[in-house]
Amino acid sequence: MTKSNWRTVVVGVILALPGCSLRAPANPNTDPGIPLDDLAPASASGYRWPKHGLTVSVDPQGCNLLPSEVLGAAAESLGIWEGLVDLRFVLVPVGSQADITVQFGAIGGYYGVAAYPGPLEPSVTVRLSNAIPWTSGLRDRGEPPADLVTVLAHEVGHAIGLAHTGQDNLMATYYTGSHREFRADVAGIAIGLYGPSLAR
Ligand SMILES: [Zn+2]
């Protein structure tokens, strides 16, 4: 299935809501899906936050899930990283000056977009699609609704300096359903940047 066909499926789902039955991709076993975002492959951005405590604001407006579900998924996403590296995230109210700002909006065909941190960037904004239906549950396939925890954790990975690696893992280029696991190489890079989690 091509990228444009995938988009057609999503549009069809949106138009049919609520009460529609979701369509599966024509061939989910061979379709790699569309890239989660458009950040270039690299081992790491070469920059890390110069601190271990980061503030995060999450605005659930534009997401099909309840605000409480969005915040719960965000907490789970951040916890995935807190369980690996020595970073502590603190959720702050929307509108606060946060290190990482999470918003839903129109971002073309991508699930999410993010930026790497950098010395000239006082903050990083993560944008998630407001056109893709999300779920707070686990998904074993790439078709909508998309697993919010997986995609947000992936984008937060970029926001702390990590790049894409391999397939079928949290930092893979393509979204193929739920992933909570790291490939050993990206885990090693992340621990190299921030040190191992003290919560273990
Ligand atoms: Zn990505």
Successive 10-residue mean pLDDT values, the chain, 200 residues: 34 26 31 50 65 97 98 97 97 95 91 82 88 94 92 93 85 89 88 86
CATH number reported for the structural domain that contains residue 142 in this entry: 3.40.390.10
Would you state the pLDDT for residue 121? 66
Would you state the pLDDT for residue 155? 93
Domain encompassing residue 84: 52-187
The count of domains in the chain is 1
Would you state the pLDDT for residue 115? 85
**For ion ligand 1, residues whose CB falls within 5 Å:** 36-37
Rg (CA), the chain: 16
Task: Flag whether 83 is in a domain.
Answer: yes
Judged by DSSP in three states, 175 sits in coil
Would you state the pLDDT for residue 174? 85
Task: Flag whether 27 is in a domain.
Answer: no
Distance 196 CA to ligand 1 centre (A): 22
Distance in angstroms (rounded) separating the CA atoms of residues 16 and 99 = 37
Residue 4 C-alpha from the chain's centroid: 21
Distance 113 CA to ligand 1 centre (A): 7
Token look-up 């405590």 returns 53
